[in-house]
């Protein structure tokens, strides 16, 4: 049975959408051995719904963060299960700061440049104690961990070869963060350089994702991207900014 408020978006893949225009995604993955893994933790305003979903699943075995930004760690500190991330994200995930030092909001256009500090603080649920780490090649709920650095140094996604499905956090955007709205259906972009640890590596990571030739890509924000061959869409996305 699918917990209330969740959408089943693939084989053993469920999504909880919330916050501004329901643009934040928290994923729940049911592994082949029955393990329930939460991937990403959205924003803190999603805590009540996240707790309810966890209870309806009968508990979450572990939380894996795609990366440690405030809108992806938001509920993790207050849920209880052990939290994992890539080794290169531990420092930011465990930091009390609501944004990493490499953010450069001056690159955003006006007036959203003035709005973002308040939004980032609102989304953040605070520092998260990391119980362990996962790296490229590890297995999470039947998916392979893939390292996609750039937007964040330790950003990871999950890849399932059997149905060519990727769950990739902020490796790629389906939202225009400079205009605070979804991109037209079927379009994607590399994350905005204002939020990049290394923007050129973020572009390389989108190309790395394209090379997997996924048919479904679930990202950290907005609806999934589907298609028989997403290579051209993703390669074009790498050059969006």
In the chain, where are the structural domains located?
A: 7-237
Distance CA 16, CA 42 (A): 9
CATH match of 7-237 with 3.60.15.10: yes
- Per DSSP, the residues of 218-240 read E-SBSS-EE-S--HHHHHHHTT-
Distance CA 54, CA 5 (A): 12
Q: Which tokens hold the place of 84?
A: 């994992």
Cβ–Cβ < 8 Å for 166, 158: yes
Q: Which tokens hold the place of 240?
A: 């969006």
Cβ–Cβ < 8 Å for 76, 69: no
Distance CA 118, CA 139 (A): 36
Per-residue pLDDT of the chain (241 residues; tens, 9 = 90+): 678 789 999 999 999 999 988 999 999 999 999 999 999 999 999 999 999 999 999 999 999 999 999 999 999 999 999 999 999 999 999 999 999 999 999 999 999 999 999 999 999 999 999 999 999 999 999 999 999 999 999 999 999 999 999 999 999 999 999 998 999 989 999 999 999 999 999 999 999 999 999 999 999 999 999 999 899 999 999 987 7
Distance CA 77, CA 209 (A): 29
pTM: 0.97
Cβ–Cβ < 8 Å for 214, 165: yes
Q: Which tokens hold the place of 77?
A: 């500190």
């Amino acid at each position: 049975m699918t917990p209330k408020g969740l959408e089943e978006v693939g084989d053993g893949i469920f999504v909880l959408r919330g916050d501004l225009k329901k643009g934040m995604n928290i994923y729940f993955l049911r592994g082949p051995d029955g393990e329930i893994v939460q991937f990403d933790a959205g924003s803190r305003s999603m805590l009540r719904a996240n707790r309810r979903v966890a209870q309806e699943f009968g508990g979450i075995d572990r939380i894996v963060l795609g990366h440690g930004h405030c809108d992806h760690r938001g509920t993790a500190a207050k849920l209880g299960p052990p939290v994992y991330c890539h080794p290169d994200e531990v420092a930011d995930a465990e930091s009390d700061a609501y944004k990493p030092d490499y953010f450069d909001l001056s690159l955003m256009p006006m007036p959203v440049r003035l709005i973002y500090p308040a939004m980032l603080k609102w989304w953040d649920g605070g520092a998260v104690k990391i119980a362990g780490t996962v790296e490229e090649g590890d297995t999470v709920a039947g998916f392979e961990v893939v390292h996609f650095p750039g937007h964040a140094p330790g950003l990871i996604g999950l890849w399932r070869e059997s149905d060519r499905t990727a769950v990739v956090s902020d490796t790629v955007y389906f939202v225009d963060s400079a205009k605070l709205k979804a991109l037209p259906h079927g379009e994607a972009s590399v994350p905005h350089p204002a939020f990049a640890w290394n923007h050129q590596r973020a572009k390389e990571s989108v190309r790395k994702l394209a090379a997997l030739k996924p048919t479904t890509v679930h990202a950290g924000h907005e609806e999934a991207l589907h298609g028989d061959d997403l290579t051209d869409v993703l390669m074009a996305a790498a050059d969006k900014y």
